[in-house]
Amino acid sequence: MDPASSTATTSMRSGNIGRYRWRVCAMLLAATTINYIDRQVLGVLAPFLQGTFHWSEIDYSNIVTAFQAAYAIGLLCAGAVIDRFGTRIGYAMAIGIWSLAAMGHALAVGVASFALARFALGLGESGNFPAAIKAVAEWFPQKERALAAGVFNAGSNIGAIVAPLVVPFVASRWGWQAAFLFTGVLSAMWVTVWLVTYRTPDHQPRLSAAERAYIGQEPVAGPRVPWSRLLGYRQVWAFVAAKFITDPIWWFFLFWLPKFLHATYGLTLLDLGLPLIVIFLLADAGSVAGGWFAGRLIKHGWSVNRARKLAMLTCALAVVPVMFAARASHLWLAVALVGLATAGHQGWSANVYTLTSDLFPRQAVASVVGIGGFAGAVGGMLISTVIGVLLQTTHSYVPVFLLAGMAYFVALAVVQLLVPRMEPVRLDDGPAASKTLR
């Protein structure tokens, strides 16, 4: 054994591994936070902009759908592009696009121009999760991936917290256009830091030998796998189904929650801040807790299959009470019910994303995430259209909250049907290998 390997082994046995990988996770957390600040600006300003530009419910749903359509289209190629060019360059390209698009909202003057800006934003933001999940697969061993995914995914909630804190203040002081410009500048700053600091573990000089060995205990990634081949695996379809069924619920919380609180409880633009902050703080806790729970079970000897699915079931149970939110007699009761549901969703999401690295080798992870993200965005497009029509005709949120409460159990049932046992796919053996799973 060479001296470096001996030192690494000794350090791993003594627990002195190093924590550089968590610095990478912090960068992913920052990117996801900015991602959600950018996309949440419209949701926070929606009640104000709807009155200013005289949008109908269907007009607003069309603007939201434009984002989700572009997000879906972007995910058709984002994962493959990131797998081809690597996490460092692929992530930078994605955030560069969405930074320009976010600032482009300041030039919008009506439904068509807002829809165009949202479309461009969706194209850029489609690269965030495929790149982040691929970075987690590059930097973390399997037993830590759910926690790492939960930590960076918490950025979606931090972004949703920061937006109602900052956006109303900026918009009321300097105009709504300034809110979009502010978030675009944040994105541009992140890209600069990312390009200067990010490298894969094999090329990161600041990484200790012990931590590099700890990260690299699993096989090195092979060549990129095309979509046409991946679609032959039931495991891919399990991830696709989970995203298609549950992602639309998260889109609903992001884009319609401020409007729901405004319409039901009469909250003004400045009043929205505290309820939204509480809701997304709960979501933040759920994101980390969901990943931690599964990882804890695995460390205590549970199989990945049992640990991951129990965590997903627990999160699904947390969403059920949201069915009563539309009829809540008090603002803070509604906030509690929706907050519990967002916590459940984010814990669910941390585990669902980790399914890709549980089931597939590193070279396929970003592509699988892209396929699933496409399915989730298509589901989001469908629910946006449905919500717009429902609100325009019935003015009731009751059916949407009922759908939200049931969605996660349906998704978990589909995952269990398609993947009764979660075991790594053997890509060299072709799709037939996945049929041996019981």
pLDDT reported for residue 4? 46
Confirm if 235 and 359 have CB atoms less than 8 A apart: yes
pLDDT reported for residue 1? 46
Classify residue 19 as exposed, middle or buried by CB count within 10 Å of its CB (0-12, 13-18, 19+): exposed
Q: What is the distance between the alpha carbons of residues 294 and 340, in angstroms, rounded to a whole number?
A: 19
pLDDT in tens, 363-409: 787 778 778 888 998 998 888 888 888 888 888 899 999 999 999 99
pLDDT reported for residue 416? 94
Decide yes or no: CATH 1.20.210.10 for domain 18-436. no
Q: What is the distance between the alpha carbons of residues 36 and 29, in angstroms, rounded to a whole number?
A: 11
- What does the domain layout of the chain look like in residue ranges? 18-436
The residue count of the chain comes to: 438
Which portions of the chain are predicted below pLDDT 70?
1-16, 217-224, 427-438
Confirm if 422 and 288 have CB atoms less than 8 A apart: no
Q: What is the distance between the alpha carbons of residues 158 and 28, in angstroms, rounded to a whole number?
A: 12
pLDDT reported for residue 218? 56
Confirm if 48 and 269 have CB atoms less than 8 A apart: yes
